[in-house]
């Protein structure tokens, strides 16, 4: 399928939870991983990321925040770029949402570098074979529960409750 050379405007066709299907004019589909902005009255635009070209000029996107109250038929603008987040020293010790906006109550980050959230892996010769600590800049994590670089790790921002299930005959 052809992708757009210039940002296009489509309209919302279907909303299923965080999944939003959008139709664009023929020949103007946004590229996979492009950010698409949906205008919402009285709120910041909803940012969606293109995940799949469905055919018939439709794309399937995933919303980066809630879709509550989002109407079908609304305008959807392809930004022509992927979602990017700040990187570098200015981000150490800060907490961000998925769009790279600071959510820790401090001033906005002024990082000279922004990178897309989807990138190619570094070349093999640029990778380290030694175990290294991933410095987050958050004292609690760096001291009590440090992450290893290149290891799969996750942290939760709130309490986690597990419910045991039991089967009875």
Half-sphere exposure of 90 (CA within 13 A, CB side): 15
Residue that has been written with the tokens 């000029």 in this structure: 57
Q: Tell me the per-residue pLDDT of 67-116, one tens digit each, with 9 for 90 and over.
A: 998 999 999 999 999 999 999 888 888 888 889 899 999 998 888 889 99
CA 154 to CA 140: how far, in whole Å? 14
- Residue 24 has a CB neighbour count (10 Å cut-off) of 21
Q: Alpha-carbon distance 110 to 141, whole Å?
A: 23
For the 9-80 domain, the top CATH level (class) is mainly beta
Query: What is the model's pLDDT at position 166?
Result: 40
CA distance 12 to 70: 9
Per residue in 11-51, pLDDT tens? 999 999 999 999 999 999 999 999 999 999 888 999 999 99
Q: Report the predicted TM-score, pTM, of the whole model to 2 decimal places.
A: 0.72
List the chain domain ranges. Answer: 9-80, 83-119, 122-151
């Amino acid at each position: 399928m052809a992708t757009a050379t210039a940002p296009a405007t489509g309209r919302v066709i279907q909303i299923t939870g965080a999944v939003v299907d959008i139709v664009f004019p023929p020949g103007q589909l946004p590229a996979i991983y492009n950010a698409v902005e949906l205008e919402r009255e009285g709120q910041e635009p909803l940012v969606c990321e293109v995940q799949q070209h469905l055919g018939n000029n439709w794309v399937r996107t995933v919303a980066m925040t809630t879709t509550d109250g989002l109407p079908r038929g609304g305008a959807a603008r392809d930004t022509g770029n992927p979602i990017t987040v700040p990187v570098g020293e200015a981000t150490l010790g800060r907490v961000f949402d998925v769009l790279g906006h600071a959510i820790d109550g401090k001033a906005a980050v002024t990082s000279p570098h922004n990178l897309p959230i989807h990138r190619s892996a570094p070349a093999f010769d640029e990778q380290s074979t030694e175990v290294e600590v991933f410095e987050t800049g958050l004292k609690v994590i760096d001291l009590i529960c440090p992450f290893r670089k290149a290891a799969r790790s996750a942290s939760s921002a709130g309490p986690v409750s597990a419910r045991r299930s039991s089967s009875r005959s």
